[in-house]
Structure 1
Amino acid sequence: MSDDLRETRVLSAVVSLVDSLLDDFDVVDLLTELTERCAELLDISSAGFLLADPLRRLHLVAATSEQTRDLELFQLQAEQGPCIDCYRTGEPVVVPDIATQVDRWPRFAPAAAEAGFAAVHALPMRAAGVVLGALNLFDTRPGGLSEADRLVAQTLAHIACVAVLQEHPPTAATVVSPLRSALIGRVVVEQAKGFVSEVLGVSMDEAFRLIRTHSRAHGEHLTDVARRLMRDRHTRPELVRALTELAHREGRQ
């Protein structure tokens, strides 16, 4: 890809994401889109965002795929990996070859390799001197991050911070409420994914895509649709029918 074409794609992505911030948006949906943009713009396999709660415990809020989600959750369970180190130090972690990091991360490094990833990187999400979490990047090919790639990734991480803190000034005293809101939203979305996956007999990735497609087509927040699926017994049957019809309609195309 030429430098001019890459620059155009990056600027277009940034403009689109900033436009979303200026409109009514769903933070979980936007962070998921950010992971997809990361993969596209950096030519990597996948990405994920981890956010810290008020007790400084990291939680997954968005991932490009279910495979990435599983590895991110394993990283949290093992309490080791690039995102953990990035969050603790507030500094980027760039690992061009995960196979060389077994001594550093004896549980995470083999798990990442087994999942098919050769390179992993993490960049901090920081606002007003507070590290909110980290952006994880995964690739099936070994290799580092160029300065241009790192700048793009850090820019997307900054946009993620703005998305999380949109309703509050980014100071250490005010980050708790929006962080809690984002984390709760992600939990509800995960519950809805599992419910739709079981009811419709589809993969978790497909369940999430169906919920997301429905929410966007109807101008609803992703988390609002998820909450209706999990908590509103009156509208749930109608939603399930709509998702079933959507799956069948797309299957015929």
Structure 2
Amino acid sequence: MRVTPFVPPGGAMRPDDEHPLLTALIAGLEVLAHDFDVVDLAQHLVDACPPLTGGADAGLFLADHRRDLQLMASTSEEPDLLELLQVEALDGPGRHTFRTGAPTVVADLARTNHRWPEFCQRAMDFGYRAACALPLRARGGSVGALTILTATPGGPDPAALRAGQALADLAGLGITARVALPRLDDLTAHLPAVLRTRIVIEQAKGVLAERGGLDMAEAFRRLRAHAHRTGRRLAEVAAAVVDGTEDTDPFLD
């Protein structure tokens, strides 16, 4: 993968300049260098996406063994966004990008609502005006999609799309590395185990939310923070919360 260097307005980038894309990629590579969770990597990349691309929100999907898209991470736990992304997984730009392996740009949702009517209408109802989807590329194929939603028509510019694709490619590489199988067909067959991680994390979020009177976003933040603080995998901590072997008081203090 070749990332085109970013040149800030007014001059060339100096070695000591802070570049958001470089920072996000380095942080992602730090995750890859350790025993990581796919969900944790996906969340890191999704959180980095809006400031790099000018998007308002983003969602990252992974395909299961039936080639159905499953949501792995999103910039918000708001029900409206999660509902919209679930619609997109069935019939929307992300689904189309996964099938074709090529980016899909919807510059104006109002003018494209004949193609994905339910997705476009719901997106506009929730305040979005454009969308694009980028493939999660791995070993000559695609294992999912990264969707970027923007609040103004036009969508990301070419530089922003390159930044988004860099994040999507890192996600694809990370998933491939986690499953560690030689062929894309082998990878697809083993993805259900990866997707189950997300289910366990959702269950753990529910436990913390109920016990601490938290919303789901705050429960997830605390779950991730505890995993990072203790140097453990997110899936391991989530499973322990769900089966009752983890003391939840430290999460709720």
Match of 1:218 in 2: 230
Specify every segment of 5 or more residues in structure 1 that has no aligned partner in the other structure, as ranges: 246-253
Q: Answer whether contact 1:61 1:182 (CA < 8 A) is retained.
A: no
Q: In structure 2, what is the Cα distance between the partners aligned to 1:170 and 1:150?
A: 29
- Relative to the length of structure 1, the TM-score reads 0.87
Q: Answer whether contact 2:113 2:121 (CA < 8 A) is retained.
A: yes
Specify every segment of 5 or more residues in structure 2 that has no aligned partner in the other structure, as ranges: 1-6
Q: Answer whether contact 1:164 1:178 (CA < 8 A) is retained.
A: no
Q: In structure 1, what is the Cα distance between the partners aligned to 2:233 and 2:34?
A: 12
Q: Deviations over 1:138-184 (max 9, x none)?
A: 11222222221111111111100111111414522321355223211
Report how far residue 23 of structure 1 moved: 2.0
Match of 2:74 in 1: 63
Q: Deviations over 1:100-137 (max 9, x none)?
A: 22211111111111122111110111212222110011
Say how many residue pairs are matched. 239
Match of 2:48 in 1: 37
The letter for the 1-side match of 2:160 is D
Q: In structure 1, what is the Cα distance between the partners aligned to 2:46 and 2:154?
A: 19
- Structure 1 residue matching 2:186: 3-state secondary structure: coil
Match of 2:128 in 1: 117
The letter for the 2-side match of 1:86 is T
Q: In structure 1, what is the Cα distance between the partners aligned to 2:63 and 2:119?
A: 19
- Relative to the length of structure 2, the TM-score reads 0.87
Q: Answer whether contact 2:24 2:45 (CA < 8 A) is retained.
A: no
Percent identical residues: 36
The letter for the 1-side match of 2:83 is D
Report how far residue 63 of structure 1 moved: 0.9
Aligned pairs (5 A) from 1:16-31: 16-31=27-42
CA pair 200-115 structure 1, distance change in 2 beyond 3 A: same
Normalized per residue, the structure richer in helix is 1
Q: In structure 2, what is the Cα distance between the partners aligned to 1:72 and 1:170?
A: 31
Q: In structure 1, what is the Cα distance between the partners aligned to 2:225 and 2:48?
A: 17
- Residue 80 of structure 2 is aligned to residue 74 of structure 1: no
